[in-house]
Amino acid sequence: MTNIDFTAEVEKRKDDLLADLFTLLKINSERNDDEANKENPFGFGPRKALDKFLELAERDGYVTKNVDNYAGHFEYGDGDEVLGIFGHLDVVPALAQEGWNTNPYEPVIKDGNVYARGASDDKGPTMACYYGLKILKELNVPLSKKIRFIVGTDEESGWGDMEYYFAHVGLPEPDFGFSPDAEFPIINGEKGNITEYLHFDGKNDGDVVLNSFKSGLRENMVPEVATAVISGKGLKLSPLTEALEDFVASYKSKALHFEVTENNHKFTIVLHGKGAHGAMPEKGVNAATYLALFLTQFNFTAGASAFLSIGGNVLLEDHEGEKLGIAYVDELMGNTSMNAGIWNFEEGKDATIALNFRFPQGNTVERMQEILGKLTGVTEVTVSEHLHTPHYVPGEDPLVQTLLSVYEKYTGKKGYETIIGGGTFGRLLKRGVAYGAMFEGETDTMHQANEFKPLDALFKSAAIYAEAIYELAK
């Protein structure tokens, strides 16, 4: 370990770090396919964030490369081996109606935390890691390996950024590396990731009609809000409101709340739950499943009946797929998890529920698809083209051991290997892991309203990254 006091070096630069971070946080870098074109493959926001990050790197003396606005990088140092660092600048959507107390793209500091979309995932950690390397550069610390710092713009969706980057960058992949996009002490194993879509017939002409049902922003987010429009015989606003009040009261621990309105004999019900990262669905309250359960008391028919029955009776709290029948546990990698992330039903059209699975080695996409196809009322099961297979770097690998030793030095806690359901850019390399920046005991607000990052954790992670990069590349 070096005798450089990286904590003190971060302290000298914390104002600059925050200023640069705020510059990135103010950019709404949600993917927007309506804006996508050749120059903006994922919309204007992700492109703008990439441009700004590379501008900061050029300011600090790096030679940058923008790979057709999909991703970019800069390199530092020389050597035959290349250490890759992977961050991402895109963010999941942030909607005011989902409970934000501040503008998600006007970062604010309150009670020692910086609040903004991307503060924790992944602009905050990416900037902390950037400053870790910046310290080494400004101190002119000798290194024996080349460092390639890579940032993407589509990590939260389909990883089309990295697919394009590696196909067009014209350079060999880094030999090993890490992504500052998860938690400490380390993530050296990641489950597979696939989305499978349940299809339903949208026709329904019973006493009560499901005109529409919408919920979810991304497949990897627990839906916080669900909206259904229903119409039919015998429906009246007052009894419907009373039924919703009774339903919400019966699930008091879930802190559900609702609004219901009537317009032209159609009733719109909006139910609110709690968002969470789709890799940890048990941490959220899936509003769509609870709204589906509530609606099963009415006499829907055909595809609407199947859609609501599966949604409310099978998918409700079925985080490991036991009721679905796809549950699978591996001794090393653990269980399969399921998040019902996006729901679309429009009367008379093909309806879908997107199920995002994080699965261990031994489970397969084909096995789950076959089982799901046997669900009553499901007309078809299709599979996303974006498949990530299970990934694992052994705990005895020097990469893992080095990163754990740095973590132990700065925290005084024993490091240990971890396998998660989340997917990070760490899995892009055979010898790739995720490393920070969330500490044990830190509140996880990724993919949620009022996302924040504690400032002390941000600065501590920057010091850890500085020493980790040094130890890996010295």
Q: Phi, psi at residue 69, to the nearest 5°?
A: 65, 15
DSSP H/E element including 212: strand 208-215
Residues counted in the chain: 474
% helix, strand, coil for the chain, step of 5? 30, 25, 40
Are 32 and 43 within 8 A, CB to CB? yes
Structure tokens at 150: 């890579």
Q: Kindly list the distances between the CA atom of residue 317 and the CA atoms of 245, 340, 367, in Å, as whole numbers in the listed order.
A: 21, 10, 21
Tell me whether residue 155 is one of the annotated catalytic residues. Answer: yes
SS3 442: coil
Residues 6+ apart with CB under 8 A from 413: 185, 407, 440
Candidates 9, 20, 90, 318; catalytic one: 90
State whether residue 401 is helix, strand or coil: helix
Is residue 303 within 8 Å of residue 202, measured between CB atoms? Answer: yes
Smallest CA-to-CA distance from 154 within 70, 73, 85 is with 70
Cα distances (angstroms) measured from residue 402 to each of 80, 185, 470: 20, 11, 10
Structure tokens at 16: 């600059």
Q: Which position among 9, 20, 30, 155 bears the catalytic label?
A: 155
Q: Are 284 and 274 in contact (CB under 8 A)?
A: yes
Q: Is 90 a residue of the active site? A: yes
Residue 466, helix vs strand vs coil: helix
Closest CA to 397 of 345, 435, 442, 343: 435
For residue 123, which phi and psi values (nearest 5 degrees)? -70, -40
Active site residues: 90, 155
